[in-house]
A = this chain, B = another copy of it.
């Protein structure tokens, strides 16, 4: 523990301080670059959700839960159906993360997946101005990141999927803001969220990984709606002795939550993935793609690929023989082999077809990966030994998509089109892109949700 929470006046007020910040924040407070980043985040999120709209994971969840849908209040993105807002938040939340292609804060948490599905469903249902929409989204990201980072990395190391466990706070704050909760009720909303905080890393590689942001969106939304009516919780849910931080982590630094609120925005630390798998593998994929391009490499000429990676890579993606598209996202061996064989690492390269492709399987057996504690999370080294004796090397300090080397607006549009093509007509995609870039100026941001309908 960084402090002794029970005796620190500051810690005693963490939940309250965070609630007060959210309640008092005004849309006009947001700097222009923050508003623009929200547009980027929305466009990237929408592409990921559309790309997964008919994924088996979403289909199964939809079919299991459709008998319980309420009134058709909000659109299921990329599909024909509408659902009550709580189910829409859940299913769009699952869709967000199925491809593992959604945004990532530079330290932890996929920020949009637990927040945007709730905000979008709410906007579709009640009608929300574009600026209020952006404001709620930004505040949701702010809250989930600060809560998550206050217990990071010990909380994550312990085995919690922080996108789920912290995400629920973000959804509660965002919807609480749209509901115009007062400070008391906002604190309750955070408390009701805290006591539903859940998600285990053991689920990585199964459909449950994307359930986590889905449930975070759904539970955070219902937390705010219950608090609005006066459902009470502890008002010290984050910092108390038996509250979120101390129960679910061995580290808690309350100043991460309370310092500089409103002075900087965590959404500015948002990164977008160019490759359709976990971020930790991106640097070595980038290295392979660079070498392939620069030396016109062919898989058959390669004797061995040796990657030196951060220890996290081996912890998360050491699946030697992936048999499905989902499993292949957790295989550094697959990622590097497919990048060389196909010259790309998009969604198609992490399909079951690609995982079973004999050419990829053959090269995969010649990929080695070694953890090195001296390598940062988004850094990597590649050495390729050729059959002709050449040895090619590449050190990637910052992969494409990192804060040091961000995807451009045009990159994001191209990624969106790649994911959404065929899901909705191209003319509709043009409209959606326009609506995302201009979301802050929309009279009713619910339009974004409705544009994502499969007619």
Interchain nearest-CB distance for A73 vs B (Å)? 8
* Interface flag for A366 (CB, 8 Å): no
The one of B84, B159, B195 in contact with A211, judged by C-beta atoms closer than 8 angstroms, is B195
Inter-chain contacts of A164 with B (CB < 8 A) = 195
Inter-chain contacts of A226 with B (CB < 8 A) = 60-61, 64-65
Residue-by-residue, is A82-118 near B (CB-CB < 8 Å gives 1, otherwise 0)?
Answer: 0011110000000000000000000000000000000
* Interface flag for A67 (CB, 8 Å): yes
Interchain CA distance A196-B65 in the complex, whole Å: 16
Oligomeric state, in copies: 2
Q: Is the CB of B208 within 8 A of A195?
A: yes
Binds B, one of A43-51, A227-235, A285-293, A428-436: A227-235
The one of B70, B208, B236, B244 in contact with A84, judged by C-beta atoms closer than 8 angstroms, is B70
Interchain CA distance A368-B206 in the complex, whole Å: 54
Q: Is the CB of A200 within 8 A of B232?
A: no
The one of B199, B222, B234 in contact with A64, judged by C-beta atoms closer than 8 angstroms, is B222
Q: State which residues 199-231 of A face B: CB under 8 Å.
A: 199-203, 205-208, 211-212, 215, 222, 225-226, 228-231
Inter-chain contacts of A222 with B (CB < 8 A) = 64-65
Question: Looking at chain A, what size class is its interface with the partner chain?
Answer: 35 or more
* Interface flag for A147 (CB, 8 Å): no
Q: Is the CB of B206 within 8 A of A232?
A: yes
* Interface flag for A63 (CB, 8 Å): yes
* Interface flag for A160 (CB, 8 Å): yes
Interchain CA distance A215-B195 in the complex, whole Å: 10
* Interface flag for A158 (CB, 8 Å): yes
Interchain CA distance A207-B242 in the complex, whole Å: 16
Interchain CA distance A201-B86 in the complex, whole Å: 26
* Interface flag for A277 (CB, 8 Å): no
Q: Is the CB of B225 within 8 A of A196?
A: no
The one of B158, B229, B246 in contact with A60, judged by C-beta atoms closer than 8 angstroms, is B229
Inter-chain contacts of A195 with B (CB < 8 A) = 161, 164, 198-200, 202-203, 208, 211-212
* Interface flag for A69 (CB, 8 Å): yes
* Interface flag for A338 (CB, 8 Å): no
Q: List 26 A-B contacts (CB under 8 A).
A: A57-B231, A60-B229, A61-B229, A64-B222, A64-B225, A64-B229, A64-B231, A65-B225, A67-B73, A67-B84, A68-B71, A68-B73, A68-B87, A69-B70, A159-B242, A159-B243, A195-B200, A195-B212, A197-B198, A198-B198, A200-B234, A200-B237, A200-B244, A202-B241, A208-B232, A211-B231
Please name 5 further chain A to chain B contacts, defined as beta carbons within 8 Å, in addition to the given A200-B243, A202-B244, sorted by A numbering: A65-B225, A67-B73, A68-B73, A68-B85, A191-B206
